[in-house]
Structure 1
Amino acid sequence: MIFSVEMIYVLMGIIVLGCSFYIFMDKTNNRRFTSGGFYFLYSITLMFGAVIPSFYIGFLVIIMVLIIAGGGLRKSDHIEEDAALKEERRKRFGGSLFLPAILIPVLTIVFSKLFANVKIGGLALLDQTNVTMVALGLACIIAIITAMTMTKSTPATTIKESRRLLESIGWAVVLPQLLATLGTIYAAAGVGTVVSNTVKTFIPENSLFWIVVVFCLGMALFTMIMGNAFAAFPVMAAGIAIPMLINQFDANPNHIAAISMFAGYCGTLMTPMAANFNIVPAALLDLKDKNHVIKVQTPTALIVLVFNIVLMYVLVSFKI
């Protein structure tokens, strides 16, 4: 392929590497060496994760965790631009400021749908195993270039603003990758089998309602632990969905997959482990209570979870 997912990761790593250098040089940050080191190690995992043996990547991750645990990661005190200058720029650009942001979803759809099977010289244009990811990466690159062109900014400005955003997110930036890895480990370790045996021990095999209840609650709870419904699904599918709901009660796999993910998303709304949804927004908005987003979402999540249980039970019971 011409554009692969590894290229996107390498580009991300280069940006994070540039951010780490700025942090290293920030003398106002009394944790600049440990903070810069954290993001430097993170950039290494992004740029060379495909070629460095897994053992050594894991070693780097352990060092990153130790830096966080030791209080070595500190957000720098960024000097904000003058409010009057910001307002002048806002008036000058107007609604066009949203153009780079709008380009990302639009171009992602265009690239993933129109260029998914395009070949040039016998080579696929996009990585066929990660079409959407590569399309998203290309869309982000074009959006960055567009923003630089509009504002007449330099690549250095892009790195500086990336650093500001990266430090606002903090340690949570690595959480999606760690949780995805955790899901793979759980599945490989046979956690799904343990879940299945546990359910069979306490719940009669012919009790569809309680199996549905445990399955949906399990999706929510495992998602709360892992922070990602995609990581929870293989465990719960192997333990309950496939052997019990699909094989035993002849449930429609499409219905089970869709509703189980929806139940998992209910867990996403109620956990700090889902950093991208709950912790990052609180950090970017400088909320005093970092769990405020979760507290607001929890009632809705519980109501939707009950709805998912009822819906799945009705669909399986009546073979809809």
Structure 2
Amino acid sequence: GDIVIVSKGNRLIRAIGEVTGPYEYHPRPEGKFGHRRAVRWLWHDPAGVPVTEIYDGNFTMRSLYWLKKERLNIPALERYMNSAIKEADADAEREAFVLIIDEINRANISKVFGELITLLEPDKRLGQANALKVHLPYSGDEFGVPANLHIIGTMNTADRSIALLDTALRRRFTFRELMPDIEELRRALAARGLDAANLEGIDLCKLLHTINERIEYLFDREHQIGHAYFTSCRGRADVEDVMRHKVIPLLAEYFYEDWSKVAAVLGDGDGTNGSHFLEARRLTAPAGFADDELSGDKLRWSVKARFDFSDFAA
């Protein structure tokens, strides 16, 4: 909208605002002004500042008139427009806004952000010492990033099928690692009146900790199972469902269908004696093969119809 500058006498400026609404007329007593338009105030100083800071000349005594653009100091005017409002509570924190970008590394971030990458830097935000703006490619509008906008991006570093962030974007973010959290699992179930350490006889905390300890040893720490898999569980049937349809298939993918390692993570050994989740049957050599032509025993692995959680009993 149009920019309005409010004078204090003919040599001082006391406010700058942006017109945000249409013309309105509100009759007022005693002949006071009833002509109105909504304004969003961008800067205010009751004491006023010299008009010469943004305009070559003094104000006249007319109520409303256009200022000559060629006499305006545009950079100085923009600095005032982008600064925090100077009032008694100027030191109060501005309301914060948060933009969350889930799985931020799935797109080509440099192409998505383009020139906006520079605007993410703290000192390039609106109202800061080195504030910058860019012109949007389609609308041509001027655009800047306000200082009270916080951008949070989530990413899974274990997903090697996609690229991690490039250096240009990486240095504009602070990184915080979020590993599987047993306490968060406890809190999530406790909020529904359930005990993660004894969910129908299953100690979910021990189950998650043991599986992740083995994954870290056999694979790496980046591929540990997240606690979110179990936060919606309400009983044994839910835990079995998560293990059968989510955890075990994920482990099989991690270890490229090497079921002996999947069994090791689950504590099932060779899958033949007292296994809990998987079972293995030794294969005999088919017709045309002699036993001595085979290198070692061959096993056919399958997921058990019912799981045994005795190793993780509450």
The alignment's TM-score, normalised by the length of structure 2, stands at 0.21
RCO comparison, higher one (Cα < 8 Å, 6+): 1
Q: Greater Rg, structure 1 or structure 2?
A: 2
The alignment's TM-score, normalised by the length of structure 1, stands at 0.20
Q: Counting helix residues as a fraction of each chain, which structure ranks higher?
A: 1
